[in-house]
Structure 1
Amino acid sequence: MRITKSLPSKSSTRNQYLATVIVNITNILYGYASGWTSSSLLILESNEKSPLVEGAMGQEERSWVTSLFAVSGVVGTLLYYFIADVAGRKIPLASVAVPHLISWILIEYGIYPWQLYLSRILSGLGSGGAFTLVPIFIAEISEAHVRGRLGSLLMFSANAGFLFAFLAGYYLQYFAIPYFGIILSIVYLLSFIFFPETPTFLLRIKKEELAEQSFRFYRNVGEGETMSDNIRKEWDELRKRIDETMQTECKVKNNFEYKDLFKTRAGRKAFMIGLALIFMHEFCGVFTMLNYTATIFRESGSKFSPQLSAIYVGVVQLLGTYVATFLVDRLGRKILLISSAIGTSLCLSCLGSYSYLHSIGVDVSPYSWISIASFSGMMFLAAIGLIPIMFIVIAEVMPEKVRSIGCTICFCLSWILAFVMVKFFESVALVFGMHGWVFLFSGCTLFGAIFIIVFIPETKGKNYAEIAAILER
């Protein structure tokens, strides 16, 4: 009988990495669906190129194409939360491929606006479910020393999807773009169904034998093998935590969770941190600006091709999240969040100044590189900290008993804010100019940096008991 080593090894995390890579295909689908609008809006608004039988889309129709994605994201977040509470993490996570698959089929054959609207609703539904469940799934299968790196793959995958969408928009014909989404949805569905349910959920429904089998799988310990001391201790602590949770829960679970979210100091502070990070995520402007990347470059006066500029931005953003996967468990969450927020704010200030000078008639063509440099810098710096680490920290600070409901409320708020900002982005830009939005994003991000310095604790390498103890102070 082989005894595993006491110290954490790469082999013990192999299946954790594998499961995380597969489950994050859902976030590639999210990024691909979100990035689809950047190049496709330029085609849909064109009288010559529009594939719709009714001709070019107007500004109001375009705003619905972008914003309906976020509206259904709220529905998907709530729907999948309640399903996961009963059916676990595995079945709901596998099922998010279905709305994505139907969504891309609708785009492939869509020649009327209502088909595009329905497509965006379905893709938002699947994306809302993924953004709710993937952080919970990863938190429940991963060891503390790799939790940050695995969690950061969420936004790395999403940004990979954005880049794929930008590339597809530049190199492929309009009706060829959906093929990638269709194939990826099928590959994900056929791959993820082979992974077991999380041990945490199985313990909560009192299936301890299956829970231990799942735990062994995600720690790469065979059924006939002896757990190492560290892994055995982790398993015993997990069982103890779940037992304590189940003993204190009242019969009406939802009422208990809502009350418990605010009953303790740790719960209240975790919820405040979650809400603040969500506001930072939306008001740093990354999601909104990614939906209109090509349009922003066109309106800013840049001499570079809007679609090609979007590809450059996608590459830089993906590089940023790749760097984040290596830094998040080395430097910690807090220092990356602070550095990312301050740097993002400065880049937004540069982009806003450039856009403002262009709007008042100053000849900025000799300095057109500033627009792509500042936009790319903003995306890179946000991708290092603000975007991926937000989801990690929210999942880490939420007490286990209220993690699901706490994350769900935060993600619903994220989708609601995203809808409002994407829906009215063009309308507000017509009144205050593109620079008005950019300066707002810059100021909000700088204010967020101050909040991080004052209120957010470092969660690197800490288990949930240690994090809760910090929040109780």
Structure 2
Amino acid sequence: MQYGWTAPSIPILESADSPVPITSKDGVWLESLYMLGGIAGLPFSIYLVDAIGRKKTVLISSVVGLCGWILIGAGTSVNHLFMGRFLLGMTADIAFNASPMYISEIAHQKIRGFLAGIIYLMMLFGIVVMYSIGPLVSIQTAAIVGGSILLSQFIIFPFMPESPYYLLYVNKEDSAKRALERLRVDDDVTKELMEIKKAVERQKTEKGRPLDLFLIKSNRRACVIVMLLNNTQHFVGITVLIMNLHEILNHAGSDLISSSAAGIIFSSLMLIAASAATFTVDRIGRKILLLVSGLLTSISLFTIAVYFHMQSMFLDLKSFSWIPMISVMFYALTFKLGLGIVPIVTTAELFPARVKGWGLAVSDLVYVVSSSLSIYVYQWLNDGFGIHVSFYLFGIYCLISTVLISIYVPETKGKTLEEIQMILKR
């Protein structure tokens, strides 16, 4: 809901009867401060997941996010909105580090991909909710809905067990056993507990310094993979499309449906595709979904680019104005089928316990920086060379990334976290 908030809310705030009048420049800052808040949350993510545990870190992110929604809902000036967006960016960063880590460590390998994918699935559901209610309700009501979800999490989540990996990492074996017994159907968890303990003890022999992400070969390989996946997500245009969907479709001259309806359909299709990927990622595998998604997404991007290129040549395309609309919707399906869901699953699996906090922080930094940079590159190319150039760039980047994924990204389906470390160590 935080991620999709700007699309329906900024037009309301810029309108004549705005509850908090803003300028177009303020609207850009409302988008940017969310990303800057994410960067500011990185050191907290790194420290908290190992200092107080994965579970408590998630709870802290709920409190920070609740404060952000209160500032947005009750704010009377644009500075209150700025502060709220910054805090929401911080809570998103903390949650997107701690939550994948927590889920990857509590889940059995047979369903780990499914459970990790649900994080991204819920993010898409939040976008659908915000796109659907945002144009119809007040800024205050939307903030109440967002805040109430975080409040419910803060009330319910304390009853969940802590990660057994973390408990063994801090030498609480009895607590780890009790947590694992709650998380598994089997009565006897001794074998799995010993396997986790052995993995944690081995990983403890490796140093946990930030530099070890790059000095140790397996960690370095994991870093390269997560950088590739997270960078690809944004340089195939997802942030640009989510934040500028209405503008892009209006530029295409498509009049099949209204822009607000297009936003709801676009986000709903992403949710459907991500749901399909989440339910099949442990059966089909991570890598095949990435490759199929990469190839199909590049087709949709090149189709959009060619249309806008022909439009820039002043050709009469009125009878073909449906093409960009259909291509954008096809993009929503193909991107979320793999590129939009698998990276968050894979990223949580690749790093050993000793440096997992640092690894996920690097991943998140690449995610935030790539997101911000992709928006800047899109605006720069759009203003200087035409909108078609940016979509050509996204399409080419998508194809190159798909080739690199086929070469460098290992298949982790059905592997324990320790087996994945052995694959990375070759």
Please classify the TM superposition score into its range, dividing by the shorter chain length. over 0.9
> Which amino acid is 1:141 matched to?
I
Out of 288, 302, 322, the residue aligned to residue 275 of structure 2 is 322
| Structure 1 pair 108–214 and aligned structure 2 pair: CA distance change class (3 A) | same
User: Is 1:105 paired with 2:70?
Assistant: yes
2:226 alignment counterpart: 274
Asked whether the equivalents of residues 395 and 407 of structure 1 are also in contact (C-alpha less than 8 Å), the reply is yes
| Structure 1 pair 353–41 and aligned structure 2 pair: CA distance change class (3 A) | farther
Asked whether the equivalents of residues 377 and 390 of structure 2 are also in contact (C-alpha less than 8 Å), the reply is no
CA distance in 1, matches of 2:75, 2:125: 25
1:18 alignment counterpart: none
CA distance in 1, matches of 2:331, 2:71: 34
CA distance in 1, matches of 2:292, 2:358: 30
Out of 198, 205, 209, the residue aligned to residue 257 of structure 1 is 209
Asked whether the equivalents of residues 199 and 215 of structure 1 are also in contact (C-alpha less than 8 Å), the reply is yes
Out of 293, 302, 309, the residue aligned to residue 349 of structure 1 is 302
2:242 alignment counterpart: 290
User: Is 1:335 paired with 2:335?
Assistant: no
User: Is 1:118 paired with 2:83?
Assistant: yes
> Which amino acid is 1:268 matched to?
R
2:197 alignment counterpart: 239
1:97 CA drift (Å): 1.4
Asked whether the equivalents of residues 93 and 130 of structure 1 are also in contact (C-alpha less than 8 Å), the reply is yes
Structure 2 unaligned residues grouped into runs of 5+: none
User: Is 1:127 paired with 2:92?
Assistant: yes
| Structure 1 pair 196–468 and aligned structure 2 pair: CA distance change class (3 A) | closer
2:131 alignment counterpart: 166
> Which amino acid is 2:308 matched to?
S
> Which amino acid is 1:439 matched to?
Y
| Structure 1 pair 78–435 and aligned structure 2 pair: CA distance change class (3 A) | farther
Secondary structure of the equivalent of 1:33?
A: coil
Equivalences for 1:88-103 in 2 at 5 Å? 88-103=53-68
Q: Calculate the TM-score normalised by the size of structure 2.
A: 0.94
| Structure 1 pair 430–49 and aligned structure 2 pair: CA distance change class (3 A) | farther
- Please list the CA deviations of residues 283-313 of structure 1 after superposition, one character each: whole Å capped at 9, or x if unmatched: 1111232122223222332213111110010
1:425 CA drift (Å): 4.4
Equivalences for 1:62-461 in 2 at 5 Å? 62-220=27-185, 226-227=187-188, 231-246=189-204, 248=205, 256-303=208-255, 304-422=257-375, 425-426=378-379, 428-461=381-414
CA distance in 2, matches of 1:465, 1:210: 21
| Superposition misfits of 4+ residues, deviation over 6 angstroms | none
CA distance in 2, matches of 1:281, 1:344: 11
- Please list the CA deviations of residues 309-347 of structure 1 after superposition, one character each: whole Å capped at 9, or x if unmatched: 100101100000110012201111111000001111111
Asked whether the equivalents of residues 459 and 467 of structure 1 are also in contact (C-alpha less than 8 Å), the reply is yes
Out of 23, 29, 38, the residue aligned to residue 57 of structure 1 is 23
Asked whether the equivalents of residues 64 and 423 of structure 1 are also in contact (C-alpha less than 8 Å), the reply is no
Asked whether the equivalents of residues 135 and 392 of structure 1 are also in contact (C-alpha less than 8 Å), the reply is yes
1:422 CA drift (Å): 3.3
> Which amino acid is 2:65 matched to?
H
Quick check: 364-373 or 124-133, which moved more? 364-373
> How many matched pairs?
425
1:110 CA drift (Å): 3.2
| Structure 1 pair 317–44 and aligned structure 2 pair: CA distance change class (3 A) | same
RMSD across aligned C-alpha pairs, in angstroms? 2.0
- Please list the CA deviations of residues 377-403 of structure 1 after superposition, one character each: whole Å capped at 9, or x if unmatched: 112111110111011112222233322
| Structure 1 pair 49–423 and aligned structure 2 pair: CA distance change class (3 A) | farther
CA distance in 2, matches of 1:212, 1:297: 54
CA distance in 2, matches of 1:175, 1:197: 34
Identity %: 29
CA distance in 1, matches of 2:315, 2:72: 41
1:236 CA drift (Å): 1.1
Secondary structure of the equivalent of 1:177?
A: helix
1:149 CA drift (Å): 0.8
Asked whether the equivalents of residues 266 and 399 of structure 1 are also in contact (C-alpha less than 8 Å), the reply is no
Asked whether the equivalents of residues 280 and 445 of structure 1 are also in contact (C-alpha less than 8 Å), the reply is yes
Asked whether the equivalents of residues 351 and 438 of structure 1 are also in contact (C-alpha less than 8 Å), the reply is yes
Secondary structure of the equivalent of 2:174?
A: helix
Asked whether the equivalents of residues 316 and 379 of structure 1 are also in contact (C-alpha less than 8 Å), the reply is yes
Structure 1 unaligned residues grouped into runs of 5+: 1-31, 251-255
> Which amino acid is 1:51 matched to?
P
| Structure 1 pair 49–425 and aligned structure 2 pair: CA distance change class (3 A) | farther
1:463 CA drift (Å): 1.6
Asked whether the equivalents of residues 261 and 267 of structure 1 are also in contact (C-alpha less than 8 Å), the reply is yes
> Which amino acid is 1:183 matched to?
S
Asked whether the equivalents of residues 49 and 357 of structure 2 are also in contact (C-alpha less than 8 Å), the reply is no
CA distance in 1, matches of 2:137, 2:342: 33
